[in-house]
Structure 1
């Protein structure tokens, strides 16, 4: 039911090596029309990432670095590498990159990637295998893909997975429809609790915006359960 990172990530990713020169990194970003590139070592393991913002440090602090006393003051007031001005002196990708890089596994659910991006305030995550090798990159734009699924896709998944696999009850009288991502469950089902479970599982389907639960039931087992515990 849950879309995985590998389903929406960009798998063909341009990379640079640790020794790649500043100008070559800039050219790689421009020629490939990307805003960031992973940095890999000789064994193709991801060791960092360089973004447009990292490259812009050189221009941002260019005038300041013409005055050596300001440079010395910055290094005295800030730990080594803690201030972005330090990247203005960068000559290679290893000097420019942000490390360690935020990563996610290809089998992770999209929701986990979204939470990680929000927690760390990043626009993208590098997707890596267990050994640290590069699998792809997933961006905020990629995460939006789950919300542009067609209504027909959502209906099919609810029918096949929610009703056909996860509910071990008769769902032959349940109707499913969708409009603009809002799924409506209608018809009849055996128990009140099954109707609630069906609605809850439907909400978990990636791309579902909301659920309208119009299911009717023959047995109100929830009321009976509450009466017994009262």
Structure 2
């Protein structure tokens, strides 16, 4: 029997926010700050033309204006922090933004998005298509949405996509329960060699926090702890 593939992973398109607040390269400093405050976001994509992402302007890009508000940086500090001192004197998004923007595609998996955010120390990513056109925004909070799935939904997916497909002859002898995201599989199966695969596939279901696999061979003396 050919073993079933892992359940199709959730993608960025499944969890991203599609209503996005953005600015243009010509947007002024105060308007950028006002938009961040109004929409309670820490960064805004900068769009050109028909929605192509050319950069991202964040709170960190605006802070030099305040930092150097009371005193001008000395020559040594200017040389050491050329980017910050330049932004301190800038008034439009095109001079404040970080470019090129770090973006991600809608079909990227959630682990790929999480690794990119962690590696670049980012809280959110613009989601773009092949042409660089903005399609949405994905944040750290969005990546955690899968862990809000109901326990019974997770259990049902494991029953259908893992147990029933791996153990078609003995699936009715397998019980699947999920409690606070932790899945437990108990029972007896005819092909114990597939038990490790069952645990792996159950763990790959989006939203599952952990798996406790207690499956035993049908002729085993007991299920054990």
Give TM-score, length-normalised by structure 1: 0.85
Q: CA offsets per residue over residues 60-119 of structure 1, 9 Å max, x none?
A: 111232x6xx1x4334345x53xx232111110111111111111111111111111111
| Match runs of 1:65-214 below 5 Å | 65=72, 70=74, 72-78=75-81, 80-81=82-83, 84-165=84-165, 167=166, 169-170=168-169, 171-214=171-214
Q: Does structure 2 conserve the Cα–Cα contact (< 8 Å) formed by 1:5 and 1:113? A: yes
Q: Does structure 2 conserve the Cα–Cα contact (< 8 Å) formed by 1:192 and 1:219? A: no
**Of 19, 25, 29, the match for 2:36:** 29
Q: 1:132 to 1:192 in 2, by over 3 A?
A: same
Q: How many Å apart are 1:168 and its aligned residue?
A: 6.8
For structure 2, which runs of at least 5 residues remain unmatched after alignment? 1-6, 221-225
Q: 1:108 to 1:188 in 2, by over 3 A?
A: same
- State the Cα RMSD in Å: 1.9
Number of residues paired by the alignment?
212
Q: How many Å apart are 1:135 and its aligned residue?
A: 1.0
Q: How many Å apart are 1:150 and its aligned residue?
A: 1.4
Q: Does structure 1 conserve the Cα–Cα contact (< 8 Å) formed by 2:167 and 2:190? A: no
Q: Distance in 2 between matches of 1:193 and 1:219?
A: 13
**Pair 1:38-2:45 in alignment:** yes
Q: Distance in 2 between matches of 1:150 and 1:103?
A: 30
After TM superposition, where is structure 1 displaced by more than 4 Å over at least 4 residues in a row? none
**Of 58, 67, 74, the match for 2:65:** 58
For structure 1, which runs of at least 5 residues remain unmatched after alignment? 221-230
Q: 1:73 to 1:146 in 2, by over 3 A?
A: same
More helix by share: 1
**3-state SS, counterpart of residue 125 of structure 2:** strand
Q: How many Å apart are 1:173 and its aligned residue?
A: 2.4
Q: Distance in 1 between matches of 2:119 and 2:40?
A: 27
Q: CA offsets per residue over residues 29-55 of structure 1, 9 Å max, x none?
A: 122222211001113110111112222
Q: Does structure 1 conserve the Cα–Cα contact (< 8 Å) formed by 2:167 and 2:191? A: no
